Amino acid sequence: MGERTYAVIDIETVPDRELYEPERDAPKREGKSEGTEDVFPPPWAHRVVVVGILWLGPDFACRKLGSVGHTSLEEPKILRDLSGFLDKEHPVLVTFNGRRFDLPVMALRSMRHGIPAAWYFWQNNAYRQRFRPEMHVDMCEELSDYGSVRRSKLDAVARVVGLPGKFGMDGSQVEAAVERGAIEEVRRYCQADVIQTAFVWLRFLLLRDAMPVDVFRTRATALRDALAAQPAAAEVIERTDWDRYLLNG
């Protein structure tokens, strides 16, 4: 195997209305009466509409920013294309809450459509093992001490380091956007989350003392400049406090 690359991944989903019956299937929170719906469906009930990906080389240089499946809204094609990429490249995964949401959703939905997902089981379940950040860096897990403290959202952690956090859309608006045909808006939103996850991860590497601050600045600046021409990145870049993010002064 050659040098490892990195794939920063995020998914957007809508409820699978063919399968999901809230009164029957919604998780019940402790203390709630029978039949009281938890508004967030369980993992198997999420239909994947977008998988955003930022693929980085061993030196963190940008190789590609986009959506898996290109312009397709067909969940089987999205999942099949994702599996093909992961099975071929075996990148280190970087996510935010991916171990608890994105990965199990993609596995369960692949099972729904009969799509092989060998990547999910690769190297004795390497992507799913909780304490193997050399294979899957789940920033939500890392920054909550693996659940020992309250988990922070990407929106909050991004703002801590000078990134803008959520703007324009949030996950609760995805289904309505898909229904009105605004799938490109959803793709840009998903890619904006991927970009901010990547920059949070670079700051996390600095926190771990995994790279000197001058190397961090060089790599973060190079990634920013490489993404500048991408429509999904433009507003993230514009809204970021770069002096604060890059620790200038």
What distance in Å separates the CA atoms of residue 136 and residue 229, rounded to the nearest whole number? 28
235 inside domain = yes
* Cβ-contact 140, 97 below 8 angstroms: yes
Predicted pLDDT of residue 33: 46
What distance in Å separates the CA atoms of residue 241 and residue 244, rounded to the nearest whole number? 5
Q: What is the CATH number of the domain that holds 61?
A: 3.30.420.10
Range of the domain at 59: 6-28+37-245
Closest listed residue to residue 11, CA positions, set 106, 138, 93: 106
Predicted pLDDT of residue 38: 52
In total, how many domains does the chain have? 1
205 inside domain = yes
Q: Listing from the earlier edge strand, what are the strands of the sheet with 92-95?
A: 62-67, 46-56, 6-15, 92-95, 136-138
pLDDT 10s per residue in the chain (249 long)?
A: 568 999 999 999 999 989 988 878 766 655 444 444 457 789 999 999 999 999 999 999 999 999 998 777 899 999 999 999 999 999 999 999 999 999 999 999 999 999 999 999 999 899 998 888 899 999 999 999 888 888 899 999 999 999 999 998 888 899 999 999 999 999 999 999 999 999 999 999 999 999 999 999 999 999 999 999 898 899 999 999 999 999 997
Predicted pLDDT of residue 1: 53
For the chain, what is the largest distance between any 2 Cα atoms, rounded to a whole number of angstroms? 56
What distance in Å separates the CA atoms of residue 44 and residue 20, rounded to the nearest whole number? 9
- Residue 177 vs residues 2, 91, 138: alpha-carbon distances, Å: 41, 31, 27
Predicted pLDDT of residue 146: 81
1 inside domain = no
**Helix then strand then coil, % of the chain, to nearest 5:** 50, 15, 40
What distance in Å separates the CA atoms of residue 113 and residue 76, rounded to the nearest whole number? 6
Predicted pLDDT of residue 111: 97
What distance in Å separates the CA atoms of residue 12 and residue 50, rounded to the nearest whole number? 5
What tokens appear for 230 in the block?
A: 């991408």
Predicted pLDDT of residue 86: 96
Sign of the dihedral through C-alpha 152, 110, 172, 182: positive
Sign of the dihedral through C-alpha 93, 159, 50, 232: negative
pTM to 2 decimal places:
0.92
